[in-house]
Amino acid sequence: VTKESLAQQGGYGIANKGPQHDESWLIFMDQINNQIPTFEDKAEALHYFPLFRTWFSIVGLCKLPWNDIEPEDNKQKHHGMEAAKVPEHVENYCWLFEGVTGKHITPEELILQSERVHNLQRLFNLKMGFGTREHDAVPYRAVGPVTAEEYKSREELYDQQLQEVINFDIKGKTTEEKMKVLRAHREEQYQMLCDAVYKRRGWDSNGVPTSEKIKKLKIDFPEVLEVVKKYQS
């Protein structure tokens, strides 16, 4: 299901809890609605939505009422990725939080709460020997065709991508040769996506939260800095 959605490949691969759609489910935004066409758009989506979805787990709420039922005028008031956030519902959650805790909170502060937790999750993975770029890799069977039979089952689509996206001349090429070129392209695209996501999240090129990011989030406890120090060159 992820083969044609680079954003969802990242949603599975870069997730702190391993491949699942609890942190991000971007296939519709990416493939159906074309709301995140660029690497920067995909990186922004892979920054915001995992954080907002993590917030539901923090406070113990179900995600479904957030975006499965949208206000009737949501897509008239908002467009693209902003519409996918369902801003009116985000405001409702801020009011709900204030009603329960007595503390006023803005949508930005709500995301900041979650960003602290999300980065601590990443840091815990690092402490346990995981959580780097190496561990954000996805198996190629989730990225593209792995057998000649699979390629041939969608040959028209893959041939078109080779010609129009990669500018590769397929004339006279075997299926295996075409598969090799397509694989190299898709794997390169995934690495470029990781670069964009890490940059947006304030992580280094290895997927490790930087000291600056940790201090900005006010989670720069001595034991946290000790974990990060091991990965700094």
Express each pLDDT in 174-217 by its tens digit: 999 999 999 999 999 999 999 999 999 999 999 999 999 999 99
Strand partners, 209: 203
Express each pLDDT in 20-61 by its tens digit: 888 888 988 888 888 899 999 999 999 999 999 999 999 999
Q: What is the pLDDT of residue 233?
A: 64
Strand partners, 203: 209
Contact 42, 7 (CB under 8 A): yes
**Could you give the count of Cα atoms lying within 13 Å of 125 in the half-sphere of its Cβ?**
21
In terms of Cα–Cα distance, which of 62, 116, 115 is closest to 89? 62
Q: What is the pLDDT of residue 125?
A: 97
Cα 132 from Cα 232, distance rounded (Å): 12
Q: Which fold has domain 6-229?
A: 1.10.599
Share of the chain above pLDDT 90, in %: 85
